[in-house]
Amino acid sequence: MPKQIFAKLVNKEQLTKDIYKFSVEAGEIVKLSKPGNFIEIRVTDQVEPFLRRPISIYNLNEEEGILEFIFQVKGKGTKILSKKEIGDKIDIIGPLGFGTFKFDGNKKIAIIGGGIGVFPLQELAKQAKKSNIEVDTYLGFRNKEYVVLEKEFKEVSDKLIITTDDGSYGEKGFAINFLEDELKNNNYDCIYACGPLPMLRAVQKMSVDKKIECQISLEEKMACGLGVCLGCAVKTSRSTKEAPEYWHVCKGGPVFNARDVEI
Amino acid sequence: MNTKINLAGIEMKNPVTVASGTFGYGREFSQFFDLSKLGGIITKGTSLKPKSGNKPPRVCETSSGMLNSIGLQNPGVEYFAQNDLPFLKKFDTAIIVNACGSSVDEYVELCKILNTLDIDGVELNLSCPNVKEGCMAFGNTYEGVKEVTSQVRKVLDKPLIVKLTPNVTDIVSIAKAVEDAGADGVSLINTLLGMKIDIDKRKPALANKTGGLSGPAIKPVAVRMVYQVAKAVNVPILGMGGIVNGEDAIEFMLAGATAVSIGAGNFIDPYTSIKTIEGIEEYMKKYNVNDINEIIGDVP
């Protein structure tokens, strides 16, 4: 059950040129959140920009009631958000999404993220590790400048591979190529993915071909975040041309079983 | 202080309702507040058979507003009657079903069913801009509106409100068609047909290319239309278009609306409708208005 709170910004960190990490006091939301959940932030009390911004949860600190999220400045909403100062109250609704990452019963998992899609995977890795699950993490970034959270993911992974498209940091190439290589001699109970669509499509195809369970976190333009406006539609794999069927990222998702959706 | 109004035969404890398509069937918002506080709930547009809706992207933000092209995705009237109506009936608020169809026959069949349900009224949707057939196709001519409304009137004993599209040259003549066909009220405005282009991708921002514009950006257009229609017809008006607070609601009522609907405003703050009710009461106190009915249409 989501709550609206006005959460105090207690820490703010610029991770790289246009990526910020915010820590807010949000005990009520933290208590209810699961890995994969997201929040909707209203950056102004005026009507411009109009809509809330859906942002994934990066880290939950239950003891201190602190919620952390990371975002990239992409447009006017995130620009206003990035200018908030420590002590400011931020209008947040959360946790949102009934489709969250499920890991119970797994022994060994692979986590694969690309670009800003790596953020919602940290809490998953952390909680899986805490449940004594072996976690291999594959993170891909555009170039050295965009590589973030290496230390944080290292702490919650048994193995961490960082790739950059141009080889300016870590391994050269795409994260999925390294996961694919590993799958030649090894197996995972489940693959968890979040990132750009081409990456998700490749992971989806690979998981279907190799018959490995796979959960993917999706993104779509949305308004309410509550399952009311029906804006953030995603086609289900049961769809036919004559009878398309849609679920919604904010309600059925944002995490879906890769088999169930057409992306 | 009296905030009770009567909209087209429907008694409401206050003039604030929530607009079709912005409140689902109430469940999600009931997590935030007691739905009994609302004057009424206009349900998501409901059709005879389930509808799957349009391809995504279906929404995008625009200046002080948004575009949507949902395509009337809904589970159909049968599902609504079995699953959603019993939930809504738990609350002490007027339930008005927004009814949509793609032919006169479909509207009539749907309203025959709605006539048997325990609801307070029907808002006939002749104005959705996002589906190929029906809706706006009927809603933009005098003859079309009159034909659907009079056929539905024959089968519907409950209060009948017709929701009009603003995408017409002369809103007054369309409202008169509704009145002439025997409707009990008019609801205006639905969204304005609009478009946004993604200049990076050089593509329309919505998969459907065009969509309906809502939010504060359209408020002056909506107020103008409510004002013009109120001066020309005798049936009550449910006014909407960009209302986000009590002051906006009062503006619509002064223009001639008997009740108002909160639409896209529900998306930016789940409590917008509740805050609007409070804002109306504050205005009444400030100006010593004893009965909210006094201000309806009270501008020259």
The complex scores an ipTM of: 0.94
Condensed to tens digits (0 to 9), the pLDDT of residues B50-78 reads 999 999 999 999 999 999 999 999 999 99
**Mean predicted lDDT score pLDDT of chain B:** 96
pLDDT at B135 over 70: no
pLDDT at A175 over 90: yes
Percent over 90 (pLDDT), chain B: 94
Closest CA to A69 of A144, A15, A139: A15
What's the confidence (pLDDT) of residue B133? Answer: 66
Q: Check whether residue A163 and residue A125 sit in a common domain.
A: yes
Contact A234 B269 (CB under 8 A): no
Range of the domain at A166: 108-218
What's the confidence (pLDDT) of residue B300? Answer: 96
For residue A180, how far is the Cα from the chain centroid? 21
Query: Does a structural domain hold residue A227?
Result: no
pLDDT at A129 over 90: yes
- Comparing alpha-carbon positions, the chain B residue that sits nearest to A248 is B56
Query: How many CB pairs below 8 Å do chains A and B form together?
Result: 101
Give the gap in angstroms from C-alpha B154 to the nearest C-alpha of chain A.
32
For residue A244, the chain B residues in CB contact (below 8 A) are: 52, 55
Write the CATH number for A51: 2.40.30.10
Q: Check whether residue A112 and residue A213 sit in a common domain.
A: yes
Query: Does a structural domain hold residue A79?
Result: yes
pTM score of the predicted model: 0.95
Q: Check whether residue A91 and residue A112 sit in a common domain.
A: no
Asked which of A46, A74, A96 is the last residue of a domain, the reply is A96
- Placement of tokens 């820590």 in the chain: A23
Closest CA to B138 of B182, B185, B95, B106: B106
Q: Which amino acid is at A154?
A: K
Asked which of A96, A129, A150 is the last residue of a domain, the reply is A96
What's the confidence (pLDDT) of residue B46? Answer: 97
Which residue from A228, A234, A244 is facing B22, i.e. has the nearest CB?
A: A228
In chain A, the N- to C-terminal Cα span, in Å, equals 28
Condensed to tens digits (0 to 9), the pLDDT of residues B242-292 reads 999 999 999 999 999 999 999 999 999 999 999 999 999 999 999 999 999
Band (A168; pLDDT cuts 50, 70, 90): very high
Contacts of A237 (CB under 8 A, 6+ apart): A259, A260, A261, A262
Q: Which long-range contacts (CB under 8 A, 24 or more apart) does B100-104 make?
A: B100/B45, B100/B46, B100/B47, B100/B72, B100/B125, B100/B128, B100/B131, B100/B134, B100/B135, B101/B47, B101/B48, B101/B134, B101/B135, B102/B47, B102/B131, B102/B133, B102/B134, B102/B135, B103/B133, B103/B134, B104/B138, B104/B147, B104/B148, B104/B151
Is B128 tagged catalytic?
A: yes
Q: What is the DSSP letter of B220?
A: H
Q: Does A245 touch chain B (CB under 8 A)?
A: yes
Contact B216 A50 (CB under 8 A): yes
Condensed to tens digits (0 to 9), the pLDDT of residues B162-181 reads 999 999 999 999 999 999 99
Q: Check whether residue A114 and residue A90 sit in a common domain.
A: no
In chain B, the N- to C-terminal Cα span, in Å, equals 24
Q: How many separate domains does chain A show?
A: 2
What's the confidence (pLDDT) of residue A241? Answer: 86
Asked which of A53, A74, A96 is the last residue of a domain, the reply is A96
Q: Check whether residue A10 and residue A61 sit in a common domain.
A: yes
Query: Does a structural domain hold residue A53?
Result: yes
Percent over 70 (pLDDT), chain B: 98
What's the confidence (pLDDT) of residue B248? Answer: 98
For residue A2, the chain B residues in CB contact (below 8 A) are: 31
Condensed to tens digits (0 to 9), the pLDDT of residues A23-63 reads 999 999 999 999 999 999 999 999 999 999 999 999 999 99
Which residue from A2, A47, A91 is facing B31, i.e. has the nearest CB?
A: A2
What's the confidence (pLDDT) of residue B113? Answer: 98
Contact A228 B24 (CB under 8 A): yes
Contact B68 A4 (CB under 8 A): no
Which residue from A1, A50, A243 is facing B66, i.e. has the nearest CB?
A: A50
pLDDT at B134 over 70: no
Q: Does A221 touch chain B (CB under 8 A)?
A: yes
Is residue A65 exposed (0-12), middle (13-18) or buried (19+ Cβ within 10 Å)? middle
Going by their DSSP bridges, the two strands A246-248 and A190-194 should be labelled as unpaired
Please give the Cα distance from B32 to B199 (Å, whole number): 38
Q: Check whether residue A138 and residue A71 sit in a common domain.
A: no
Tell me the mean pLDDT in the region B218-243: 98
Write the CATH number for A213: 3.40.50.80
Give the gap in angstroms from C-alpha B24 to the nearest C-alpha of chain A.
5
The first and second tokens of residue B32, run together, are 């935030």
- Comparing alpha-carbon positions, the chain B residue that sits nearest to A1 is B31
What's the confidence (pLDDT) of residue A173? Answer: 96
pLDDT at B128 over 80: no
In chain A, which among 111-130 make CB contacts under 8 A with chain B?
none
Q: Does A32 touch chain B (CB under 8 A)?
A: no
| Partners of residue A42 on adjacent β-strands | A91
Q: Check whether residue A63 and residue A150 sit in a common domain.
A: no
Is residue B261 exposed (0-12), middle (13-18) or buried (19+ Cβ within 10 Å)? buried
Q: Does A61 touch chain B (CB under 8 A)?
A: no
Q: Check whether residue A119 and residue A212 sit in a common domain.
A: yes
CB B269 within 8 A of CB B197: no
Tell me the mean pLDDT in the region B1-30: 98
pLDDT at A86 over 90: yes
Condensed to tens digits (0 to 9), the pLDDT of residues B72-115 reads 999 999 999 999 999 999 999 999 999 999 999 999 999 999 99
Query: Does a structural domain hold residue A229?
Result: no
pLDDT at A202 over 90: yes
Query: Does a structural domain hold residue A57?
Result: yes
Query: Does a structural domain hold residue A252?
Result: no
Contact B73 A246 (CB under 8 A): yes
CATH number, span B5-54+70-193+213-295: 3.20.20.70
Domain parsing of chain B, residue ranges? 5-54+70-193+213-295
Q: What is the DSSP letter of A101?
A: -
- Comparing alpha-carbon positions, the chain A residue that sits nearest to B21 is A229
User: Catalytic: which of B60, B100, B111, B128?
Assistant: B128
What is the sign, positive or negative, of the torsion defined by CA atoms of B251, B255, B260, B262? negative
Please give the Cα distance from B289 to B277 (Å, whole number): 15
